């Protein structure tokens, strides 16, 4: 019997309903996903590692549905970024150092996901150690953008974004430090959420007490994203920053907002900025698409005004604190496998080793000052809207774009200020599709909510998404194309 590829086009929440009533089985979904993967992988290279036998075995012994059913996936196959350990599955961290590594344990987030009925079917491609704004590595090669396979899908959660956009999978995992969930979301016209620190466990990473890096969900639309968030959120004693989930599930809150529509948003105040008062270079195509998208909130009864928290020195602060995290997490590899690490990782780690205590102290003080400015902004406004990425998708062979709007960009981190600045706030942020430029390249809108208000952020993003209708374009077949002029 041939696989039913029509299943791959359905939203995750509809597939879960079919699973719950027995109209489809997890094994049928595995077969459907594998058939779709076989169709599109040669063009995009999004899911280089598959584990169907493990998924089938797990499907035979699904756990009991948790009381209340929060986040219950009922045997739905998912993809996991190749930075997270899955027991018995090759986990390379996209590095030649670990190209043959097979862990005998699963990351705590995977334990939670599987306890909620998720089936890990594949590992998604990422830059080496998730360091980079374009998804390529020496182990698996490049991942290509399905809207135009000559372009990058962004990074570092690029494989997950592409797998969603092409219908290879229904839900996917990503991680985010400087924008690794949001940038691929924007470039591939899918949805990526950077949750508040502590919303999803980071397991036992070296920088357990840092709020900079987070794990999070990716999906084709906001309701599916909320479902995935419910499946992975919650308190974990192994991660001291984790918090308990809200009394009402994120999925229920999101669906209620959709049912209420624009009525629930009337009077909401949105501060909007394209470039933070001219301090961030932004390409013309991004300006046009994101500005038009942001002012659509006025049609939803919202007040949209140009307003933003001043960035101040946060670009330098991010680079200093990021480099210190590289010392914590990558110094061991640099000491023993220097010749196998790419230049970006060596640069980040060496920068951290060269920093002085005075620099670190200054950066922490400046981050605190920026956070206070953000809180003052949210005293007046309910949400911040701004570009996700300051450029549209670019040549798949480039690491980053070195000139934006006439301004020279020193390195790939400096080109990610639209997302990295938000990372420094510890506020939840989501990338939602905003539209396409003249060359058909996807561009996203970034929405930022107050601290720990994922529920409110998902609600406004869901209503916005329903109004644009862009989520209904997915999934797509990969499309070849040329690199547009920049």
Which residues have C-beta within 8 Å of that of residue 52, sequence separation ≥ 6?
30, 34, 121
- Distance between CA atoms of 225 and 336, rounded to whole angstroms? 39
CA angle in degrees (0–180, nearest 5) for 202-181-100: 60
Q: Is 338 exposed, middle or buried (0-12, 13-18, 19+ CB in 10 A)?
A: exposed
- Bridge partners for 270 per DSSP: 304, 383
Angle between helices 12-21 and 26-44 (to 10 degrees): 150
- Distance between CA atoms of 104 and 480, rounded to whole angstroms? 39
In Å, how far from its chain's centre is CA 469? 21
In Å, how far from its chain's centre is CA 143? 16
Name which of 256, 272, 258, 262 is nearest 301 in CA terms: 262
Is 472 a known active-site residue? no
| 80 three-class SS | strand
Phi, psi of 353 (to 5 degrees): -65, -30
Name which of 157, 237, 234, 245 is nearest 204 in CA terms: 237
- Bridge partners for 76 per DSSP: 118
Phi, psi of 24 (to 5 degrees): -145, 150
Is 351 a known active-site residue? no
User: Among 134, 156, 420, 423, which one carries the catalytic annotation?
Assistant: 156
CA angle in degrees (0–180, nearest 5) for 153-403-324: 70
Is 6 a known active-site residue? no
User: Among 180, 213, 416, 420, which one carries the catalytic annotation?
Assistant: 180
- Distance between CA atoms of 173 and 159, rounded to whole angstroms? 10
Q: Is 369 exposed, middle or buried (0-12, 13-18, 19+ CB in 10 A)?
A: middle
Name which of 173, 48, 167, 164 is nearest 120 in CA terms: 173
Phi, psi of 417 (to 5 degrees): -65, -30
Cα separations in angstroms, 91 against 33, 80, 109, 154: 20, 10, 15, 21
- Distance between CA atoms of 304 and 458, rounded to whole angstroms? 18
To which residue do tokens 């995009």 refer?
Answer: 44
Q: How many other C-beta atoms are found inside a 10 Å radius of the C-beta of residue 68? A: 8
Q: How many other C-beta atoms are found inside a 10 Å radius of the C-beta of residue 415? A: 25
Residues serving a catalytic function are 81, 156, 180
């Amino acid at each position: 019997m041939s696989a039913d590829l029509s299943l791959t086009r359905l939203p995750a929440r509809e597939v879960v309903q079919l699973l719950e009533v027995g109209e489809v089985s997890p094994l049928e979904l595995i077969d459907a996903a594998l058939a779709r993967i076989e169709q599109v992988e040669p063009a995009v290279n999004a899911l280089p590692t598959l584990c169907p036998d493990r998924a089938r075995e797990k499907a035979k012994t699904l756990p009991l549905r948790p009381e209340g059913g929060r986040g219950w996936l009922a045997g739905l196959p998912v993809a996991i970024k190749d930075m997270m350990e899955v027991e018995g599955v090759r986990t390379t961290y996209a590095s030649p150092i670990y190209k043959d590594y097979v862990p005998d344990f699963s990351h705590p987030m995977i334990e939670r996901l599987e306890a909620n009925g998720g089936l890990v079917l594949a590992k998604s491609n990422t830059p080496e150690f998730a360091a980079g704004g374009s998804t390529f590595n020496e182990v698996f090669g490049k991942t290509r953008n399905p809207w135009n396979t000559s372009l990058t899908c962004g990074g570092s959660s690029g494989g997950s974004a592409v797998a969603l956009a092409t219908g290879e999978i229904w839900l996917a995992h990503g991680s985010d430090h400087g924008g690794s969930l949001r940038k691929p979301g924007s470039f591939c016209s899918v949805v990526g959420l950077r949750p508040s620190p502590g919303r999803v466990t980071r397991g036992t990473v070296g920088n357990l007490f840092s709020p900079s890096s987070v794990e999070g969900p990716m999906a084709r639309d906001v309701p599916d994203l909320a479902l995935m968030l419910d499946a992975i959120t919650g308190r974990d004693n192994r991660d001291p920053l984790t918090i308990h989930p809200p009394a009402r599930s994120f999925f229920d809150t999101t669906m209620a907002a959709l049912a209420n529509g624009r009525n629930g948003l009337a009077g909401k105040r949105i501060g909007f900025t394209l470039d933070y008062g001219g301090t961030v270079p932004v390409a013309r195509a991004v300006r046009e698409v994101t500005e038009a998208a942001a002012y659509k909130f006025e049609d939803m009864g919202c007040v949209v005004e140009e307003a933003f928290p001043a960035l101040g020195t946060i670009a330098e602060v991010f680079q200093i604190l990021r480099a210190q995290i590289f010392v914590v997490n990558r110094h061991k590899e640099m000491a023993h496998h220097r010749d196998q690490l790419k230049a970006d990782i060596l640069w980040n780690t060496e920068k951290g080793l060269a920093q002085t205590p005075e620099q670190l102290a200054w950066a922490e003080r400046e981050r605190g000052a920026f956070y206070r400015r953000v809180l003052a902004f949210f005293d007046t406004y309910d949400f911040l809207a701004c570009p996700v990425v300051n450029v549209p998708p670019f040549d798949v062979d480039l690491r980053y774009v070195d000139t934006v709007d006439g301004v020279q960009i020193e390195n790939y981190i400096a080109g990610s200020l639209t997302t990295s600045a938000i990372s420094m706030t510890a506020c939840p942020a989501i990338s939602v599709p905003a539209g396409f430029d003249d060359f058909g390249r996807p561009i996203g809108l970034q929405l930022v909510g107050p601290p720990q208000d994922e529920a409110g952020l998902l609600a406004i993003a869901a209503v916005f998404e329903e109004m644009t209708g862009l989520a209904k374009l997915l999934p797509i077949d990969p499309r070849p194309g040329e690199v547009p002029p920049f």
